[in-house]
Amino acid sequence: MKNTMHKYILMICRYILLVGITIQLHAQNPLIRDQYSADPSARVFGDRVYVYPSHDILATQERGRVGWFCMEDYHVFSSANLTDWTDHGVIVHQNKVPWVKPDSYSMWAPDCIYRNGKYYFYFPTTPKDTSYARGFTVGVAIADKPEGPFVPQPAPIMNVRGIDPNVFIDKDGQAYLYWSQGNIYGAKLKDNMVELASDPVVLGELPNRGLKEGPYLFERNGTYYLTYPHVENKIERLEYAIGDNPLGPFKITGVIMDESPTGCWTNHHSIIQFKDQWYLFYHHNDYSPAFDKARSIRADSLFFNTDGTIKKVTPTYRGIGVTKANTQIQIDRYNRISDGGASIAFLDTASKFQGWKTVLEATGAWVQYNSVDFGQKKRKSVTVRALAPEGGSLQIRIHDVEGPVVAEVPIAAGNDWQLVKAPLLHFEPGIQNLFVVAKDNNHIEVDWTGFE
Ligand code: FUB
């Protein structure tokens, strides 16, 4: 029943997108919860963050190549607070770009940049005319607004063979295009942003063994950071090199994120500063643990050392942004979890976009979920969506696992999900870290909790 309902809601969402209405999503990690998304290129435009990811779909005998990447279009998502994301719908489709080989399902990692009142969306894909390139080349679509409508150029950028375009505009106004094809290449762009102004050069001195791709260049305090996924061991990790010039040479400097803990072979990222905080956008295969070409975008905070080097980012489920206390707080997207007695599982393994649940089964087992905004007005009760076959009891605390008890929540025995409401015993205004703690050894599952 829940399954059918979920499919119905997804159908309605897709219909709404088709007729051009935007959809609002609440998110921790992964950021996008109703479709696969990969290769996030995040940009700050005005007072919002826009993310331009690839859109993985599953190949079938009729579309794409089973077992391989399959992408036919791009969506753009935006947020003003990094918690509530708007899906602006499809901005470019493979079969609506005149030079793209129809049904090639190869709309790989894109990027977007603003210049002189226009938004330039760069995307790599397969041309139908192989005189442009055998394999991948890069095209551009142009819009007046970051969410489009984007108008594709009639032909791809000449003299670019490869994938993963990335654009950087330096302080002097010179724009650069980067891409990958075994090596990482860079070239100047003309002011029109759709033609190269110089011959492509191979950027050095980067690792010469193991695949490198997905370049993303940014500048901070006069240093140019060339960041890229690289296979140092068996799968990709995010690394960076620094230099004094947008075209290098660069000096290999460090690792930004280790290989995916879920074994996702690719990673692909972007780095932005938004309201004084730096963020790393990247992807894992959260909704598709058994197939790593159906990925999901994520974001975590990124910090620099005083010498300008980047502190390694550990992927979290919690991600970024503040969660309002009166929403359905998905505690399975935790910051920390107790060493034993607590775990996370899909709500329904046959319908993974329904998300996850927290399973507590030992006295004192807990999960920690940070940055919940209780506001200033006193809250009176908490609701927990929970299930406990033998019955059980939870405690909700703030500050730390032994901090003030906000509520005691008894869960009646039963195999069905129930909404359990309990009075608040303690209230503190503002942003708090939340702990949900098991009071007994019984098996308790929690879908979400929220405060009224
Ligand atoms: O998404 C397809 C390809 O996988 C991208 O272009 C690469 O960067 C890797 O993430």
Residues with a catalytic annotation lie at 56, 213
Looking at the whole model, is its pTM more than 0.85?
yes
What is the best residue among 41, 57, 266 to mutate for testing ligand 1's pocket, by most ligand atoms within 8 Å of CB? 266
Ligand 1 centroid distance, CA of 124 (Å): 10
pLDDT of residue 204: 87
Q: For strand 323-324 and strand 366-373, is the pairing parallel, antiparallel, or unpaired?
A: parallel
What is the rounded (10 degree) CA torsion for 393, 394, 395, 396?
-150
What is the best residue among 55, 105, 108, 216 to mutate for testing ligand 1's pocket, by most ligand atoms within 8 Å of CB? 108
Ligand 1 centroid distance, CA of 267 (Å): 8
415 in the same domain as 293: no
Q: How far apart are the first and last CA of the chain?
A: 28
Residues 6 or more apart whose CB falls under 8 angstroms from that of 421 comprise 381, 382, 383
Q: Which residue's CA is minimally distant from atom 4 of ligand 1?
A: 266
Is 311 inside any structural domain?
no
**Which residues span the domain enclosing 413?**
323-451
266: three-class secondary structure by DSSP: coil
359 in the same domain as 219: no
Q: What is the mean pLDDT of the chain?
A: 94
Residue 135 to residue 127: CA distance in whole angstroms = 8
Helix, strand, coil share of the chain (percent; to 5): 5, 45, 50
pLDDT in tens, 207-259: 999 999 999 999 999 999 999 999 999 999 999 999 999 999 999 999 999 99
Residue 191 to residue 173: CA distance in whole angstroms = 9
Identify the band that residue 262 occupies on the pLDDT scale cut at 50, 70 and 90.
confident
pLDDT in tens, 5-31: 444 444 444 444 433 445 667 779 999
Is 310 inside any structural domain?
no
Is 136 inside any structural domain?
yes
155: three-class secondary structure by DSSP: coil
110 in the same domain as 147: yes
Q: Which residue's CA is minimally distant from atom 3 of ligand 1?
A: 108
For the CA of 283, the closest atom of ligand 1 is 10
266 in the same domain as 327: no
Ligand 1 centroid distance, CA of 90 (Å): 19
Q: Which amino acid would we find at residue 35?
A: Q
- Cβ burial of 172 (10 Å; 0-12, 13-18, 19+) is exposed
Is 308 inside any structural domain?
no
291 in the same domain as 335: no
Ligand 1 centroid distance, CA of 160 (Å): 17
Average pLDDT value for residue range 28-57: 97
Q: 268, 302, 336 — which closes off a domain?
A: 302
Using CA atoms, how far residue 94 sits from 105, 122, 343, in Å, is 7, 13, 41
Q: Give one DSSP letter per residue of 338-377, joined into a string.
A: -SSSEEEEES-TTSGGG-EEEEE-STT-EEEEEEEE--SS
Q: Which residue's CA is minimally distant from atom 9 of ligand 1?
A: 266
103 in the same domain as 247: yes
332 in the same domain as 239: no
346 in the same domain as 294: no
Using CA atoms, how far residue 205 sits from 202, 242, 243, 249, 309, in Å, is 9, 10, 10, 6, 17
336 in the same domain as 213: no
Q: Which helix (H) or strand (E) holds 26?
A: strand 23-26
Per the structure, how many domains does the chain have?
2
Residues 6 or more apart whose CB falls under 8 angstroms from that of 230 comprise 206, 207, 210, 211, 212, 236, 237, 238, 239
What is the best residue among 69, 264, 284 to mutate for testing ligand 1's pocket, by most ligand atoms within 8 Å of CB? 69
- The CATH number of residue 163's host domain is 2.115.10.20
Residue 80 to residue 397: CA distance in whole angstroms = 29
Ligand 1 centroid distance, CA of 214 (Å): 7
Count how many residues are written for the chain: 452
Bridge partners (DSSP) of residue 254 are 240
Q: 237, 267, 302 — which closes off a domain?
A: 302
Q: Give one DSSP letter per residue of 36-94, joined into a string.
A: --EEEEEEEETTEEEEEEE------SSSS-TTS--B-EEEEEEESSSSEEEEEEEEEEG
76 in the same domain as 119: yes
In this predicted structure, the answer to whether residue 357 has a pLDDT above a threshold of 50 is yes
pLDDT in tens, 141-172: 999 999 999 999 999 999 999 999 999 999 99
Is 218 inside any structural domain?
yes
For the CA of 124, the closest atom of ligand 1 is 6
Is 144 inside any structural domain?
yes
172 in the same domain as 36: yes
- Percent of the chain, pLDDT > 70? 94
Average pLDDT value for residue range 440-450: 97
Is 309 inside any structural domain?
no
Find the residues whose C-beta lies inside 6 A of ligand 1: 38-39, 54, 69, 108-109, 163-164, 213-214, 266, 268
Q: Which residue's CA is minimally distant from atom 1 of ligand 1?
A: 108
- The CATH number of residue 339's host domain is 2.60.120.260
343 in the same domain as 426: yes
12: three-class secondary structure by DSSP: helix
Ligand 1 centroid distance, CA of 417 (Å): 39
Is 316 inside any structural domain?
no
